[in-house]
Structure 1
């Protein structure tokens, strides 16, 4: 490996949602011991880094993103000793671990908030954001991500507190230097244990516009958007530069910020190396391409031309500004990519899953594989709203059926396509009882297709999505051009095929992907000059070299050629 390339640029990250990964003690909930027991599976896949969703003590109102104690492990998931064992075992096997850092807000059960609401004079009151009523009402019109107002009235202090998410998730006041030092201390606590970095939850929201202006009213909503006053706020870069100076630069770690409603230009400010903030960010532009009149809960399908434009914009901006991209199709908050961007029909599921993996992993950036993506898991077609657990999904069902009076069928279709619960069904390890996930009663329903789509079947089939991902990851490790080469989009206006080059000093990689269920005779653009071509990886039968600049693309074909 080229020593000049930071390790996190060559790495592939595997995201683990602990509750749904593997249950070692039979209580129906995935746990830290379960992750430890399955590390060899992840070594076999070839990934480098494991990102764990929150493992801290939490009332679980928002599946662990409401933290009551940052220095204790959630008892449902295990003990600190079991975390220490997981970290050591992972390191012994050559795997790194990063944790979720959730510091835009805490749980309302956190001791800081319990103190904060005692009185305005309590020293912890200023750890959170409080406002007096305005004409007897909320201080502004901001609407919460999960529905309703972002403000909740607290009788004990006769003030409203801010929560951009659930009312049980009060926002921290980053203007208070004591809050920032508390955050840096808890970061050091985990880094000194030996973890390898952080994924920072909604980190672009930590600095609010001090004027707290009304947000633009969102179509079909009773409230305004808070992003105008909370995303990429006036001091966010000051805070992150301070965090880097105080904590991050003292450790050899990776950092990735979740930055909703952040443009590529703004993203550069977080990820440009010389600014000394974060290594990379998660952007959401490609996740918004299929939003409809009512936001993300829509039956709208993305357009490939739009997808190419968004991914290209981020590729080019980061490359030109010494920044770095995070590459992802899915995570714990998003639908399964085969359903959303590919084709989940049985005859195309495997093929389109491989194609999507190839397109993503050969871009410049650090790829993230969300648990189950490597076997081509699909959305869960639950028949009843009672089968869903996610707070956002429950709220949208109530809003659609009771406020907008949409029919049940269209509401459930939108939920099937976009609910966060699609990503949270337990991992199917085999086709046996409870999919081999637990010997007890699973905390959440299994995906109904687990007898067809499971890890045991994938490992037994040399042509499975799993082994294709294994090859993709090896390709990234073996070819520095995937990390360092310049990205160049081809055929921007082609509505069916995504093709691009990765250009190095003495080699090019040509990536071609068919996003349709049709066979396509694809003509390599005349601008692509080369003497020889060699097929490196494909998800079907293709010529070992390109003949007459023509490539026959099967439905959902994905292939990469080395050109010289």
Structure 2
């Protein structure tokens, strides 16, 4: 009877408000809560490359503290920092040996707290990178686990007794020999999806899950505001170890990711950590289908709050670049899939990719500034939370490393060995690696034109890009038309125009070969974004054209309108309001 009365009351209320139940269902503002992590702008810091204060060549917490005012000046509202836990550094911190301790190169727990407090004082939230698909092989859990078959920690990892024969093949993303590693101490194999020094944790063991939740609580109690769950779509394993078909490695996520049990674990995490502490969590990856992604982030599922997919960054993996048509299609279909429910991030670069400028803009001296401004305008104009990688706000570029001897990254070295073993053309492999390697995105931050770009007084852990004399923060601070100052303006534009956050997205003239145009409508606003992705002038006919009064942002000082045609300069980026 109570259910019937509630249903009747809801029906009468909807009719009183003048909308049908279906209209109420389609009203995204009523379904999706407005919150800080949707409205914010996230800035990613790779800590060992940001700012060094003690001369050891590695960035540290005190370096971030020194640059807190700079971060505040960007207008960003969140910082995600890559791992800084105790680690042997086989994979630059993504091999954690103690989740509650800080690697000495970054400083102390007191330094971390001072950095966190400094961010909070400037209205910046902090997102912790949680690496719990695997640990380091130097973590005490693994040292105990491999010590004997009857150790209490044995079941913290996945083991295959050698007397059962060779384990069923599993692909490793970093190891050409596969994901099972033989360990003679107990005559058994352990599983590692990544490097052999990164054994996979056994999430099917409830004790492991509780360990992880306790780690997250430890950091939440210190004031951390959110968590980025590294490689989390692979955490749950099919422990029946079925035989996968030949060639399955090409569709890695389908075979190794998003097992149904993962959602049970996420619901546990939500109940134990996310909800009680009021934090948010973003998953690295979104599965292999839109349903996968929604199952991760839809609010009513009480799992995670945000996911980011890789289809956009996958568009430009080779020096041949990408097609604008594909770029439009990928962003449009993901927006459509999340138009009414769920939330995703918007990004084109991070620590696992080469530089945004080389892959999606134009690094040539003539066009680097306007093309980077265009890409940053785009990122701040889409629905979803924009993620910006350190250095992209000044247009940092790839570094030239044509020979394998120059690389230190475990991923690059592993892929090279795989290419060599399979008889690939190594000259072609190196051409692509030089363009796409994630080491391009890890060079030291270019602060000024002093030696080592002002990053360190010592020898940097990785060489500084030679173009730091021209591309650096200090050179752009005083130039009102610089990439840096345009980025600041664009962050402010996003904050001041809620349609760019919550408004409906609609593609305009989808077939235009050079211009990406779309509207963002809602929150009492009707905005149009027009972006010329070409190094040549281009034009588009529009029903409503910008005027000087209606322009919200323009990366050029001129506006060329002729009749019903908008003429754009190379890489010109405009946002203007449209009369409703």
> Which TM-score tier does this pair reach, normalised by the shorter chain?
over 0.9
Per the alignment, residue 410 of structure 2 pairs with 391
1:340 is matched with which residue: 325, 345, 359? Answer: 359
Deviation, structure 1 residue 288: 2.0
**Displacement of 1:228:** 3.1
1:449 to 467, 471, 482: 467
Identify if the C-alpha distance between structure 1 residues 224 and 158 changes in structure 2 by more than 3 Å, giving closer, same or farther: farther
Q: Is the counterpart of residue 556 in structure 1 residue 575 in structure 2?
A: no
Structure 2 equivalent of residue 240 of structure 1: 266
Of the structure 1 ranges 194-203 and 311-320, higher mean CA displacement relative to structure 2 is found in 311-320
Residue 439 of structure 1, CA deviation = 0.5
Q: 1:169 aligned to 2:184?
A: no
Which residue number in structure 1 is paired with residue 20 of structure 2? Answer: none
Which residue is equivalent to 1:534? Answer: 550
Q: Work out which of the two has the higher radius of gyration on C-alpha atoms and give 1 or 2.
A: 2
Where has structure 1 moved over 6 Å in runs of 4 or more?
Answer: 528-533
TM-score (norm 1): 0.93
Q: Check if 1:85 corresponds to 2:114.
A: yes
Whole-Å Cα distance in 2 between the matches of residues 354 and 146 of structure 1?
38
- What secondary structure sits across from 2:292 in the alignment? helix
**Pair 1:351 & 2:364 matched:** no
8 Å CA contact 2:502, 2:523 repeated in 1: no
* Residue 468 of structure 1 pairs with residue 486 of structure 2: yes
Deviation string, structure 1 residues 129-149 (Cα, Å, up to 9, x no partner):
112358732322423345330
Pairs within 5 Å for 1:375-386: 375-386=394-405
Q: Deviations over 1:478-521 (max 9, x none)?
A: 11111110111122233322111111154211111111111111
In structure 2, relative to structure 1, the CA distance for the partners of 1:108 and 1:520 (3 Å cut) is same
- Of residues 256, 261, 264, the one that matches 2:290 is 264
Q: 1:308 aligned to 2:338?
A: no
In structure 1, C-alpha distance between the alignment counterparts of 2:250 and 2:184, rounded to whole Å: 25
Residue 449 of structure 1: how far off its partner (Å): 1.1
**Residue 301 of structure 2 aligns with which residue?**
275
Task: Check 1:430–1:208 CA distance in 2 against 1; reply closer, same or farther (3 A cut).
Answer: same
- The correspondence of residues 89-488 of structure 1 with structure 2, limited to 5 A, is 89-133=118-162, 136-218=165-247, 226-259=252-285, 261-291=287-317, 298-320=318-340, 322-401=341-420, 403-408=422-427, 410-488=428-506
Q: In the superposition, relative to structure 1, how do residues 140 and 452 fare at CA in structure 2: closer, same or farther (>3 Å)?
A: same
Distance 1:415 1:120, change over 3 A: same
SS at match of 2:190: strand
Aligned 8 A contact 1:387 1:445 in 2: no
CA distance in 1, matches of 2:432, 2:547: 49
Q: Contact 1:271 / 1:324 at 8 angstroms: preserved in 2? A: yes
Contact 2:281 2:306 in 1 (8 A): yes
1:391-444 alpha-carbon deviations (Å, 9 max, x no partner): 111223344456425253x33321121101011000011111111100111011
Instruction: Check 1:447–1:42 CA distance in 2 against 1; reply closer, same or farther (3 A cut).
Output: same
SS at match of 1:502: strand
Superposed CA offset, 1:22-76 (max 9, x none):
0011111100111011000011111111111001000000000000000000111
The alignment's C-alpha RMSD in Å is: 2.2
**TM-score scaled by length of structure 2:** 0.90
Which one has the bigger helix percentage? 2
Kept after mapping to 2: 8 A contact 1:131/1:161: yes
* 362-371 vs 152-161, which moves further: 152-161
> Structure 2: 5+ residue runs without aligned partners?
1-28
2:61 is the counterpart of 1:32: yes
**CA-CA distance at 1:208 after TM superposition:** 1.8
Distance (Å, rounded) in 1 between the aligned partners of 2:421 and 2:476: 42
Q: How far apart are residue 333 of structure 1 and its match?
A: 0.5
Partner of 2:105: 76
Distance 2:440 2:184 in 1: 38
Query: How many positions carry a matched residue from both structures?
Result: 549
**Counterpart secondary structure, 2:282:** strand
Greater alpha carbon shift after TM alignment, 187-196 vs 533-542? 533-542
Choose which of 61, 81, 85 in structure 2 pairs with 1:52: 81
Residue deviations 1:333-378 (CA, integer Å, cap 9, x gap): 0111110011111101111101001111100111111000000111
